[in-house]
Amino acid sequence: MANVLRVAIVDPNDRDREDVKTRLLGIDSVWLEADCSRYEFFRDVVQQTSPDIGVIAIDADPKKAISLIEEVRSTSDCSILCISGSNDGSMILRAMRAGAKEFLTRPITLEDLLGALDRIGGERNGGAAGRQRGCVCVAVAGCSGGVGSTSLAVNLGCALAAEENNTVALVDLDLALGDADVFLDMIPDYTLVDVAQNISRLDFALLKRSMTKHSTGLYLLPRPAQLQDIPVIGIDELRRVLGLLKATFTHVVLDLSKSYGPLDMVALEEAQTVLLVTQLDVPCLRNVVRLLMSFDDVEGLKDKTKIVVNRVGLDAGQIGLKKVQETISREIYWRIPNDYRTMVEVRNNGVSLFERFPKSQITQSIQGLAVALHGDADAVKDDDAVATKEKGAAGVGRWLKMWPSGKSGS
């Protein structure tokens, strides 16, 4: 994964050190270089391992620890994250003056830890704001019920999870009627409500345990079990859950409801890319135009929205793709072929397209979309790149030739 942070930790208190170590080990973007129980040895540890971040717990001997911070700062490029059980202002000031970049007070939540690592990582990588680990957050929205957004969200999640270096979470935001769990044939123990309610106590292991893992590697956070639980999830709760997920997974896929309510709007804002799924009929296209007009009100939303046409080839009465592009004044980013038999079979059996029909056109279409979203979009624009892709990513290039996406129009 890009931008892995190498971390070394020192804390003479074994229990506290183990606690932080466990949390660090659970974060995909952290590589734990070393852990050390003596302040005296830490400078050598830093010199030998050159970590990006030194985590120094100061409570065992604050005086020694503060001079260690100074020493490490003056002899290395390592950024210091300081930990203490005290939130005494003068202690924080001393640590910061000695050169600590961040100061966390026990008990430490995963959220706090990730936030601190993110800020340090951001600064080390040229001060760029936002997630340095480059989480790709994709919202899948539909312009009408039954257009295929859940089918796409689930299978896109599985396609992304197939890549070894990815960790992928799928969140079902259709809080009343969401069925992502059915698509994956899962009976989850916990839902979005449990995570939202316990967010301040969650560590990475608990977060992952709260999310059910599918055989493809995809982690699912399902909708609440009961309608009565829906009000538990407000805008703030959702923002926090998404923040935590974005900080811990390489990809987060959001399956939105069709209500375009406040929670859907939060998801649209938080996403880096919005896939707006439509079919080629008049009611759908009318809604696409209406939605795009409404999206104008949210900064940046229209620009990050990509149109995905689903069920291309469904029947002869479908509106032509060229006409569609003219009507919505927008490029079609991706086209997914119609294949009802295949879709129904995977849905009814609770398996992904990749498990049951790895070679079908629809599978390869969604795989191609995953690759495009992965940042390879440019690479598939010319034939050479397509040929290269065919060697590397099974079948994607072949699919791209059969179902060329977007720009060429048709």
Ligand X SMILES: Nc1ncnc2c1ncn2[C@@H]1O[C@H](COP(=O)(O)OP(=O)(O)O)[C@@H](O)[C@H]1O
Cα–Cα dist 218/9, whole Å = 31
Q: Is residue 339 part of the contact set for ligand X (CB under 6 A)? A: yes
Nearer to ligand X, 122 or 313 (CB): 313
> In sequence order, what DSSP letters do the residues of 375-403 get, joined into one string?
IIGGGGSSHHHHHHHHHHSTTHHHHHHHS
In angstroms, the Cα distances linking 168 to 17, 185, 331 are: 29, 17, 28
Cα–Cα dist 112/20, whole Å = 12
Cα–Cα dist 193/145, whole Å = 24
**Of these, 250, 338, 361, 405, which contacts ligand X (CB under 6 A)?**
338
Q: Is residue 146 part of the contact set for ligand X (CB under 6 A)? A: yes
Nearer to Mg ion, 115 or 350 (CB): 350
Nearer to ligand X, 104 or 153 (CB): 153
Site string for ligand X, 288-327 (x = CB under 6 A): ----------------------xx----------------
Residues with Cβ within 8 Å of 401's Cβ and at least 6 positions away in sequence, in order, are 386
Tokens of 100: 């600590």
Contact partner at residue 366 from ligand X, Mg ion, none, CB < 5 to 8 Å by partner kind: none
Residues with Cβ within 8 Å of 251's Cβ and at least 6 positions away in sequence, in order, are 135, 136, 137, 138, 157, 160, 161, 166, 167, 168, 169
Residues 248-267 that bind ligand X (CB under 6 A): none
Closest distance of CB 351 from ligand X, Å: 13
Q: Is residue 150 part of the contact set for Mg ion (CB under 5 A)? A: yes
Nearer to ligand X, 24 or 285 (CB): 285
**Of these, 56, 68, 113, 147, which contacts ligand X (CB under 6 A)?**
147
**Of these, 24, 343, 380, 400, which contacts ligand X (CB under 6 A)?**
343
In angstroms, the Cα distances linking 24 to 31, 39, 52, 121, 374 are: 8, 20, 14, 14, 26
Q: Is residue 336 part of the contact set for ligand X (CB under 6 A)? A: yes
Q: Is residue 223 part of the contact set for ligand X (CB under 6 A)? A: no
DSSP label of 214: P
Bridge-based pairing state of the strands 212-213 and 251-255: unpaired
Site string for ligand X, 104-143 (x = CB under 6 A): --------------------------------------x-
Residues 345-364 that bind ligand X (CB under 6 A): 347, 362
Q: State yes or no: cis peptide before 358, omega within 30 of 0.
A: no
Contact partner at residue 250 from Mg ion, ligand X, none, CB < 5 to 8 Å by partner kind: none
Closest distance of CB 317 from ligand X, Å: 16
Contact partner at residue 347 from ligand X, Mg ion, none, CB < 5 to 8 Å by partner kind: ligand X
Q: Is residue 150 part of the contact set for ligand X (CB under 6 A)? A: yes
CA angle 227, 248, 149 (to 5 degrees): 45
Closest distance of CB 340 from ligand X, Å: 4
Cα–Cα dist 273/171, whole Å = 15
Q: 361-371 and 149-161 are packed helices; what angle lies between their axes, rounded to 10 degrees?
A: 70
> How many residues sit close enough to ligand X to count as binding (CB under 6 A)?
18
Nearer to ligand X, 140 or 380 (CB): 140
Tokens of 150: 């859940």
Residues with Cβ within 8 Å of 151's Cβ and at least 6 positions away in sequence, in order, are 183, 310, 343, 347
Nearer to ligand X, 64 or 341 (CB): 341
Nearer to Mg ion, 144 or 388 (CB): 144
Closest distance of CB 405 from Mg ion, Å: 23
**Of these, 145, 164, 282, 297, which contacts ligand X (CB under 6 A)?**
145
Closest distance of CB 173 from Mg ion, Å: 10
Nearer to Mg ion, 150 or 364 (CB): 150
Residue 365, φ and ψ in degrees, nearest 5? -60, -45
Report the largest interatomic distance among the alpha carbons of the chain, rounded to a whole angstrom.
79
Closest distance of CB 234 from ligand X, Å: 24
Instruction: Summarize as ranges the residues that interact with ligand X (CB under 6 A).
Output: 142, 145-151, 310-311, 336, 338-340, 343-344, 347, 362
Would you tell me which residues interact with Mg ion (CB under 5 A)?
150
